[in-house]
Structure 1
Amino acid sequence: MQDTLIQALRRNATDEAVATARQWVTAEPQQPQAHRWLALALQQHGDVDAAQASLEQALALAPDDAALHLQHAGLLLAQRQLDAAGAALDRTTALNPNEFSAYLMQAHLALAREDIDEAERLGRLAARVQPDSPELGTVEGMVALRRGDVDRALAVLSAASQRLPDDPRVLYALGLAYLGKGMLAFAEQAFRRVLELNPANHALHGLLVQLALRQGHTDRAAEAMRQVLATPQGDNPGMHRLAGELELASGQPLQALEHLRPLLAQLPGDRATLQLLLLAWQRLGRDEEARSELDAALANHPQLHDLWLSRLAVAAVGSDEAVDVVERWLAAMPEHIPALEARMRLHDMKDEADDAETVAKHIVALEPGRASGEQRIVEALLARDPAAAIAHVQVLLDNAPAAAKPALRGWLGAVQDRAGEPAAALATWLQQHADQAPVRLPLPPQAKAPGEWPALGEVAQDNPVRPMFVWGAPGSGVERVVRAMAAASPVLRGDRFGPTPPDDAFQNFNTLQRLSDGSLDAAQLVQQWRDGLPARGIADGNVIDWLLWWDNALLWALRPQLPEGRLVVALRDPRDMLVEWLALGAPAPLALASADEAARWLARALEQVADLHEQDLYPLLILHTDAAANDPAAMAALLEQAFGLRFPVARSLGPTTIAAGHWRRFAQVLAAEFAKLTPVAVRLGYPEA
């Protein structure tokens, strides 16, 4: 009878299978396997409740049958009863410690609840049972992905997909790994294959639309969207919002409104929908329509923060209309801090300083320590009583929890600086560095220049590869240069400063020692770097690589082995660089013991830059960021002049840094340190005083 059942289920003849299984149960009501097969037939027939009852009857007859508990777990998972499924799997492995499928299912459940350590442990247990199973790759790859090790995840899941080319779970995980690596076309291909294997996975349609949009393929996105909206499952607010986004990307704001306007009633506080609506109204020039519809929504939903922000966005910045909107917002939500912050900013725009300070005090009364209010209070104190401003921040620092102290100490130093107390500011900054030194990197080593460099290699005229390295010593503003370049170039890589940096010689402070003792030769260094580029999303070798550190000793490898490369160095007055480093730190978290140590290391680093320039040791471009450090438009102009290409203006270059020439405020308290930096400053074109 079991063979008859199996054949019926394989033909998807579920009526026949259920009838056969019922005959078996009638004939042998005490046979657990009869109830088990009836449960399978009922589940495939779509009668989940009856399947659950049959399986429970089987378990009552054979409570120690591990296979029945495993089947029960699968049925519970299909019903999204995750806790009960987990308990069934625990019972399975307790009865049969060699049940590979149970460990695998438990690992996937652990991943679903973000218990990465438990998923890894269960994966190891499964590997003891079937060490060569390709299904383990899904668990191992997802664990690596959740821990940010995208390269390992990609390698493991790629291997698993080769052995299981039609497994939707492996392909889905592989798609996520490609997404994590920014390889959108590969991710799209993987997800499309999942959809082919499992057409009922409607959520993937939306993801495919987004992937096509991110790659600029609006035609493919539109095709995928039509397929989604044609299904009952796809006709929902989320998909209509995505359809509106697609129409906007295609330059069709009127069609976008058709999808988005009904959502204002369905999702009145949804930020993404509101942003798309504002964009559509703006492109159509329908400001009055925007005002009218948003006001109507606010009449029904006066407590929605994002709805008020959207209404405020329609008003001109600082206008009387903006004031009216914020006053209505405060009438509806009188103690809502973002509304109070908006009112405070409007007071400042209209030069109503006292009123702004009054609102700031109200903000901190509602939420002690709120940054916006405290900063406005300190600004007021700086204008009339600088010593009181310093004292106010000091009290905040003294009473703050440990996690907040670093940011507050940095602010204290900035306030002391603005208050005309350079010695106090310097002491505060040095204390900040001392506190953070134990968890920071040591200063990179610096090599002495050799008597003679290896010859610069020849570059073939037909060589299309022109890699570029970008570096700047602490305080140079290199991170601002990189942010501006990233707005124009998809090949810029800043991953050396992220959680999963490339594992090559440019990332290792021991590289100079290895070059000198022969354990790493020039060809190995460059080849290792080249070999790592595909995993960083660079297929042809043309990359802009932001380096963690630089030393001219690297030219032992770059001159003969990578003559087609180019080094871009960000630079500003070395004395300003020292002050910025002390005050604001650097992109690379480097430990400092004293201002003298910082000055000596910085002087040696910049002497190497001067040598590079004066001796023409390697293709070099120096970007003087002094006048552009806080000005996105000036930075774009600087890059345009340097590269002969038009650069878009970045929205922001980051937090404000010190202005050019600020070092002169510290001329007395850092006199000895500046004396060490002045000679190289002059070599690099800066005035002596």
Structure 2
Amino acid sequence: MQDKIIEALRRNAADEGVTLAREWVAAEPQQAQAHRWLALALQQQGQLADAQASLEQALALAPDDAALHLQQAGLLLALRQIAAAGEALERSTTLNPNEFSAYLMQAHLALARDDADEADRLGRMAARVEPDNPELAGIQGMVALRRGDVDRALSVLSAASQQLPNDPRLLHALGFAYLGKDMLAFAEQAFRRVLELSPGTQALRGLLVQLALRQGHVDRAAEVMRDVLANEGGDSPGMRRLAGELELASGQPLQALEHLRPLLSQLPGDRATLQMLLVAWQRLGRDDEARTDLEAALQDNPQLHDLWLARLAVAPVGSDEAVDVVDRWLAAMPEHLPALEARMSLHDMKEQAEDAEATARRIVALEPGRASGEQRIVEALLVREPAAAVAHVQALLDSSPEDAHPALRTWLGSVQDRAGDPAAALATWLSLHEALAPTRLPLPPQAKAPGEWPALGTVAEDNATRPMFVWGAPGSGVERVVAVMAAGSRVLRGDRFGPTPPNDGFQNFFTLQRLATDALTPEQLVQQWREQLPSRGIEDGNVIDWLLWWDNALLWALRPQLPEGRLIIAIRDPRDMLVEWLALGAPAPLALTSSSEAAQWLARSLEQVAELHEQDLYAHLLLRTDDAVNDPAAMGALLEQAFGLRFPQVRSLGPGTIEAGHWRKYATVLAAEFSRLTPVAVRLGYPEV
């Protein structure tokens, strides 16, 4: 339905779009996206007040959906008229008939359709009419946001907001620019100001609750929620869901149930509600109540995927009860692929291998190439005919579109590995690295150790700041360490691997060169890093910073300028690290042209680690991940032993990787590479053979 509406709106057939959207709303009145697209169609039809009402309904159902709030920002900007402070936003009685207003309106409609290019074109047309009008910032800022240029969005909207400091529309858009930079406190401040100017904007309070929770301010979130539920119109299903989330975060599962249980009849297929209900029931030990409530909901809604998943979650894993639930799910939805996948998994748990394979073949008959089914078929072939398993994956690769080739080639290498053909696996992986090299980052440069290190600075007794850096060379499993640390810490930052990384010396591969030529001083390097922390949501300097790269030359700055810091380095047997890097890549997409190049670079990196450790050049900890890379519980225990803190259990550490000692299967085909790595492996405490 969504595609049909988009197609109609692109043809400027607004009446048809409204008709389609109303049909969707009638069929699924509790679906926020249906109301969202009705709002957009009404907006394009010129019915701004009705559009705003529909969007408010969508936000009532999903008050924490940032995309809906962003659409509301565009609608509010399109309205171009705000009632007196303290009153709700109202529709303009008339739009300015001049060309400028028309361009703005059309640009906002384009933004709502996610057509940033068209919005940009219209914004430039409007700029020809009134180039200095600050209302243009709403278009320019949101275009930049849609294109991922958050810095430009923030710059444009901040400047415009200074000209119109009491314009809720610009403040609304500015709040999302701050969100794009993960500057949660600033975003919250902007949205609170919008509410001061326009207290009737109830849905925005739901976003404020989420922002307070993300910053760890449960008390402030509770205060906002109390205000919402006390206000007329604030007690909506979406707000009740948020209230349940807040009670769970506060450790009050009973109160959470009071908010959430009524939503089973109002939002029976809502995934977030079901997940929170399951958590509350589990914490209270009310499995029977969960079964009763979910069964009642399924009686009225037997076609809801997430409702069946929730019911299955209450059944013990692999139990006869689970089998009964999945069989009833398949009876209600006989060609529903997730139900078939659940049945396939249960066959495997019951050691019914032939039935599991038969179900897998039924899955791929319904959807050829479906990963779950194809993988299970390959597993069966590996048991009885390994060469056929390799041929099966090769056939999938040969018939797949180009964009699927990298993942399939990685899998092909893994299957060749398991089929006992390391030479073929290595050739497959190397060919993939060679194909991807032009689109990847160059290997970070490596510096030679100086003749003498600068003195280690002293740490004042009253200094409560203890920043921590985390790094691991490719193949070390550092991303798995970070996954567990992130589950237990609000200050871990992995943004260096995201779309908006911090702009400091630790992010720049040219930093070593700049330090060596005095283009960048040690003081400047650390100061730049500190200055970036508030924009990354760190106010007091206590951060766990996952580094993109490491070189001991950074100690030229860290030893004197940040002696209170600590470095955590993930390692495993260097030869296993090389095989994993070749097989699965690394968190940072580094370019490789040969296994020899990879071994040389990895050896130099680990020689620096050995030197740092042997000479104790900086406060550090080596985390040996060899026996924990595929085991969430073991990884949690490893970190608990290292830090003396209990970490939450994570469900998965990501795709499986090679087991410790797997490198020995490659001792012949990678003999030269291993001869380069073995000396540093021994230095780090691993056996020579």
TM-score (normalised: structure 2): 0.82
8 A contact 2:468–2:567 mirrored in 1: yes
Q: Distance in 2 between matches of 1:259 and 1:618?
A: 51
Give how far 1:76 is off: 12
The 5-angstrom pairing of residues 220-235 of structure 1 reads: 220-235=220-235
The 5-angstrom pairing of residues 521-536 of structure 1 reads: 521-536=521-536
* 1:282 equivalenced with 2:318 (yes/no): no
Q: Distance in 2 between matches of 1:204 and 1:402?
A: 43
1:559 is paired with a residue whose SS is helix
Q: Which moved more, 1:129-138 or 1:431-440?
A: 129-138
8 A contact 1:344–1:359 mirrored in 2: yes
8 A contact 1:181–1:537 mirrored in 2: no
8 A contact 2:206–2:225 mirrored in 1: yes
1:622 is paired with a residue whose SS is strand
1:20 equivalent in structure 2: none
Q: Distance in 1 between matches of 2:391 and 2:50?
A: 72
* Post-superposition CA distance 1:619-673 (Å, at most 9, x none): 3322111112122222222223323333333333222111111100111111111
* 1:580 equivalenced with 2:588 (yes/no): no
Shift in alpha-carbon separation, 1:355–1:466, aligned structure 2, 3 A: same
Q: Distance in 1 between matches of 2:500 and 2:468?
A: 21
* 1:570 equivalenced with 2:590 (yes/no): no
* Post-superposition CA distance 1:145-188 (Å, at most 9, x none): 33334344344434443443211012212222333333434333
1:623 is paired with a residue whose SS is strand
The one-letter amino acid of 1:569's match is I
* Post-superposition CA distance 1:80-136 (Å, at most 9, x none): 9x9xx9xx88x833xxxxx4x555444444433323234344444555555555444
Give how far 1:606 is off: 1.1
8 A contact 1:278–1:310 mirrored in 2: yes
Of structures 1 and 2, the larger Rg is shown by 1
Shift in alpha-carbon separation, 1:367–1:490, aligned structure 2, 3 A: same
2:295 equivalent in structure 1: 295
Q: Which moved more, 1:299-308 or 1:393-402?
A: 299-308
The 5-angstrom pairing of residues 617-632 of structure 1 reads: 617-632=617-632
2:489 equivalent in structure 1: 489
Q: Distance in 1 between matches of 2:609 and 2:252?
A: 51
The one-letter amino acid of 2:301's match is H
Q: Distance in 2 between matches of 1:218 and 1:605?
A: 43
The one-letter amino acid of 2:166's match is D
1:36 equivalent in structure 2: none
The one-letter amino acid of 1:395's match is A
8 A contact 1:302–1:332 mirrored in 2: yes
Q: Distance in 2 between matches of 1:205 and 1:553?
A: 48
2:351 equivalent in structure 1: 351
Q: Distance in 1 between matches of 2:80 and 2:518?
A: 62
2:261 is paired with a residue whose SS is helix
1:334 equivalent in structure 2: 334
Q: Which moved more, 1:371-380 or 1:506-515?
A: 506-515
The one-letter amino acid of 1:369's match is G
8 A contact 2:182–2:535 mirrored in 1: no
The 5-angstrom pairing of residues 436-451 of structure 1 reads: 436-451=436-451
* 1:364 equivalenced with 2:326 (yes/no): no
8 A contact 1:433–1:591 mirrored in 2: yes
Give how far 1:420 is off: 0.9
1:409 equivalent in structure 2: 409
* Post-superposition CA distance 1:244-285 (Å, at most 9, x none): 334444444444444433332333222223223333333443
* 1:470 equivalenced with 2:476 (yes/no): no
8 A contact 1:151–1:535 mirrored in 2: no
Give how far 1:551 is off: 1.8
1:208 is paired with a residue whose SS is helix
The one-letter amino acid of 2:531's match is D
1:390 equivalent in structure 2: 390
Give how far 1:677 is off: 0.6
Q: Which moved more, 1:106-115 or 1:471-480?
A: 106-115
Alignment partner for residue 92 of structure 1, among 85, 95, 98? Answer: 98
* Post-superposition CA distance 1:314-356 (Å, at most 9, x none): 2111111111111111111111111111111111111111111
Give how far 1:450 is off: 2.7
Shift in alpha-carbon separation, 1:461–1:193, aligned structure 2, 3 A: same
1:666 equivalent in structure 2: 666
Q: Distance in 1 between matches of 2:642 and 2:355?
A: 47
8 A contact 1:347–1:353 mirrored in 2: yes
2:19 equivalent in structure 1: none
Shift in alpha-carbon separation, 1:257–1:634, aligned structure 2, 3 A: closer
Q: Which moved more, 1:184-193 or 1:474-483?
A: 184-193
The one-letter amino acid of 1:405's match is H
2:621 is paired with a residue whose SS is strand
* Post-superposition CA distance 1:32-75 (Å, at most 9, x none): xxxxxxxxxxx9xx999xxxxxxxxxxxxxxxxxxxxxxxx869
2:11 equivalent in structure 1: none
1:240 equivalent in structure 2: 240
Among all aligned residue pairs of Structure 1 and Structure 2, give the percentage whose two residues are the same amino acid: 78
Q: Distance in 2 between matches of 1:136 and 1:76?
A: 15
The 5-angstrom pairing of residues 179-194 of structure 1 reads: 179-194=179-194
Give how far 1:198 is off: 1.3
Give how far 1:144 is off: 3.1
Give how far 1:226 is off: 4.2
8 A contact 2:184–2:537 mirrored in 1: no
Q: Give structure 1 stretches of 5+ with no counterpart.
A: 1-42, 49-72, 94-98
2:507 equivalent in structure 1: 507
Q: Give structure 2 stretches of 5+ with no counterpart.
A: 1-45, 52-77, 84-88
Q: Which moved more, 1:430-439 or 1:172-181?
A: 172-181
The one-letter amino acid of 2:431's match is Q
The one-letter amino acid of 1:603's match is A
Q: Distance in 1 between matches of 2:50 and 2:405?
A: 60
8 A contact 2:183–2:535 mirrored in 1: no
2:639 equivalent in structure 1: 639
The one-letter amino acid of 1:324's match is D
The one-letter amino acid of 1:117's match is D
TM-score (normalised: structure 1): 0.82
1:64 equivalent in structure 2: none
Q: Distance in 2 between matches of 1:681 and 1:246?
A: 49
8 A contact 2:161–2:171 mirrored in 1: yes
1:309 is paired with a residue whose SS is helix
Shift in alpha-carbon separation, 1:539–1:316, aligned structure 2, 3 A: same
Q: Distance in 1 between matches of 2:140 and 2:153?
A: 7
8 A contact 2:629–2:635 mirrored in 1: yes
Q: Which moved more, 1:165-174 or 1:459-468?
A: 459-468
The one-letter amino acid of 2:683's match is R
1:487 is paired with a residue whose SS is helix
RMSD over aligned Cα, in angstroms?
3.0
The one-letter amino acid of 1:142's match is M
The 5-angstrom pairing of residues 24-173 of structure 1 reads: 92-93=98-99, 99=100, 103-127=103-127, 133-173=133-173
Q: Distance in 2 between matches of 1:438 and 1:228?
A: 53
8 A contact 2:382–2:389 mirrored in 1: yes
8 A contact 2:140–2:156 mirrored in 1: yes
* 1:595 equivalenced with 2:595 (yes/no): yes
8 A contact 2:110–2:118 mirrored in 1: yes
Q: Distance in 1 between matches of 2:228 and 2:460?
A: 51
2:208 is paired with a residue whose SS is helix
The one-letter amino acid of 1:260's match is L
